[in-house]
């Protein structure tokens, strides 16, 4: 089995890579600005390949992805938060967020759809966000992009329903990792105390959910939004 994890060097992406390796997948890890030497050392002697690509820019997908054959699982996990009032968002900021979360996701899914259809258990998993469902003050642009991901999953799952390919999203709540690091310790304490479980979600919990969606027995689980949010319903 072969999986491609876009954003595989990030907090959630790397946890997914680790879990898919444990599940017996060969994994192709996409990264942007991570240290390739560190990545190669981390996955030394494991069935891992690497792709470097800046998804905020127009890229020729064939040049980067042409070597990938017999793909079974596509996970789209790149992303970064965008905090601030709408009137402070420049066109460049909006365009960058759109490219990263929506445009490239659609293009890459389009690129691999026919290939995934050749798999007995083709899987597309998009890492969205709780904000894609509820929206968030000071994150209107980010929320819009994550909401677009969810709409795309619901539509594409119907389009591919008569094939072997399932399409699902995971909508995490507040996850430990890079996005949480923008907050101070005091702010994180306040956020943690406001959560129903009073803890941040471990990225391995997202990876576990991804593993479940990629399992061959999950063939009827499609078009869903898997809420990994610790009862944080807003």
Please give the helix or strand (H or E) that residue 110 lies within, else none: helix 104-117
Active site residue ranges: 142
Whole-number Å distance between alpha carbons of 223 and 167: 6
Residue closest to 22 by CA, chosen among 49, 1, 53: 1
Q: Which residues of 107-121 are buried (b: 16+ CB within 10 A; e: fewer)?
A: ebbebbbebbeebeb
Helix (H, G, I), strand (E, B) or coil at 17: helix
Whole-number Å distance between alpha carbons of 114 and 210: 21
CB 203 within 8 A of CB 175: yes
Please give the helix or strand (H or E) that residue 124 lies within, else none: strand 123-127
Residue closest to 125 by CA, chosen among 178, 71, 177, 169: 169
The length of the chain is 234
How many CB atoms lie under 10 A from the CB of residue 122?
24
């Amino acid at each position: 089995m072969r999986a491609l994890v876009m954003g595989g060097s990030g907090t959630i992406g790397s946890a997914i890579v680790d879990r898919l390796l444990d599940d017996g997948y060969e994994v192709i890890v996409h990264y942007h600005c991570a240290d390739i030497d560190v990545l190669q050392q981390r996955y030394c002697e494991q069935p891992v390949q690497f792709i470097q690509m800046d998804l905020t820019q127009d890229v020729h997908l064939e040049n980067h992805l042409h070597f990938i054959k017999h793909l079974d699982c596509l996970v789209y996990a790149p992303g970064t938060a965008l905090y601030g009032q709408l009137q402070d968002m420049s066109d460049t900021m909006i365009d960058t967020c759109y490219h990263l979360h929506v445009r490239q996701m659609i293009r890459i899914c389009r690129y691999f759809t026919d290939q995934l259809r050749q798999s007995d258990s083709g899987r597309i998993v998009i890492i969205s966000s709780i904000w894609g469902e509820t929206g968030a003050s000071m994150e209107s642009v980010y929320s819009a992009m994550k909401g677009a991901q969810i709409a795309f999953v619901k539509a594409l799952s119907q389009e591919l329903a008569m094939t072997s390919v399932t399409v699902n999203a995971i909508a995490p709540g507040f996850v430990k990792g890079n996005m949480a690091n923008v907050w101070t310790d005091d702010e994180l304490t306040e956020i943690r105390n406001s959560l129903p479980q009073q803890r941040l979600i471990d990225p391995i919990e997202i990876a576990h959910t991804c593993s479940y969606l990629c399992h061959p027995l999950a063939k009827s689980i499609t078009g869903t939004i898997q809420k990994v949010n610790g009862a944080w319903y807003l």
